A and B are shown apart, each in its own frame.
Chain A
Amino acid sequence: MSSTSAHFATSRRMAVYQPNHQISMWGNSFKADISQNTGASTIVEADTKLDNRLEDIPRESLGPSKRYDQEANKPADKVVRRLAQNREAARKSRLRKKAYVQQLESSRIKLAQLEQELERARQQGVYIGGHLGDATLGLPGTVNSGVAAFEMEYGHWVEEQNRQTRELRAALQAHVSDIELHMLVESGMSHYDDLFRIKAIAAKSDVFYLMSGMWKTAVERFFLWIGGFRPSELLKVLTSQLDPLTEQQLVAVHNLQLSSQQAEYALSQGMDRLQQTIVETLASDLLGASGAANCMGQMANAMGELEALVSFVNQADHLRQQALQQMYKILTTRQAARALLALGDYFQRLRALSSLWAARPREPA
Chain B
Amino acid sequence: MQQAIPCNSGRTWFAPTAASNGVVHVTVKDRPSVDGPSTSSSSSDGGGGGGGGGGMRRLVAENPVLVVGRRGCCMCHVVKRLLLGLGVNPAVFEVAEDAEAALVDELAEIAGGSGVRQQVLFPAVFIGGRLVGGIDRLMAVHISGDLVPILKEAGALWL
Contacts and interface: CB of A to CB of B under 8 A. Distances in A.
Interface of A: 252, 255-256, 259-260, 262-263, 265-267, 269-271, 273-274, 277, 308, 311-312, 315, 318-319, 322-323, 326, 329
Contact of B81 (A255, A265, A319): A265
Across the A-B interface, the 8 shortest Cβ-Cβ residue pairs = A270-B78, A266-B82, A266-B81, A322-B143, A269-B81, A274-B74, A273-B77, A270-B74
Nearest to A267: B78
23 contacts: A255-B145, A256-B143, A260-B143, A262-B82, A262-B86, A263-B139, A263-B142, A265-B85, A266-B79, A269-B78, A270-B75, A270-B81, A277-B74, A308-B74, A311-B75, A312-B74, A315-B135, A318-B139, A319-B139, A322-B139, A322-B144, A326-B145, A329-B144
Nearest to A329: B144
A315 B74 contact: no
Contacts, number: 65
Contacts of A270: 74-75, 77-78, 81
A318 B81 contact: no
Contacts of B74: 270-271, 273-274, 277, 308, 312
Contact of A269 (B77, B144, B147): B77
Interface in B130-159: 135-136, 139-140, 142-145, 147
B72 interface: yes
B139 A256 contact: no
B79 to A, nearest CB: 7
A267 B85 CA distance: 12
Given A256-B143, A259-B143, A326-B144, A315 B85 contact: no
Contacts of A308: 73-75
A277 B72 contact: yes
A323 B143 contact: yes
B77 A259 contact: no
A271 B81 CA distance: 12
A265 B85 CA distance: 9
A312 B86 CA distance: 21
Q: Which of the listed residues B74, B86, B147 has the most CB atoms from chain A within 10 Å of its own CB?
A: B74
Nearest to A258: B145
A326 B74 CA distance: 26
B48 to A, nearest CB: 31
Interface residues of B, number: 20
A322 B140 contact: yes
A315 B139 contact: yes
Nearest to A304: B72
Contact of B143 (A267, A271, A311, A319): A319
A85 to B, nearest CB: 65
A177 B56 CA distance: 56
Contacts of B145: 252, 255-256, 259, 326
A262 B142 contact: yes
A14 to B, nearest CB: 65
Nearest to B145: A255
A317 to B, nearest CB: 11
A312 B78 CA distance: 10
B82 A315 contact: no
Interface string B11-37: 000000000000000000000000000
A156 B75 CA distance: 33
Given A256-B145, A315-B135, A318-B139, A262 B75 contact: no
Interface string B69-95: 000111101110110011000000000
A270 B75 CA distance: 6
Contacts of B78: 266-267, 269-270, 315
Given A277-B72, A315-B75, A266 B136 contact: no
A255 B148 CA distance: 11
A5 to B, nearest CB: 80
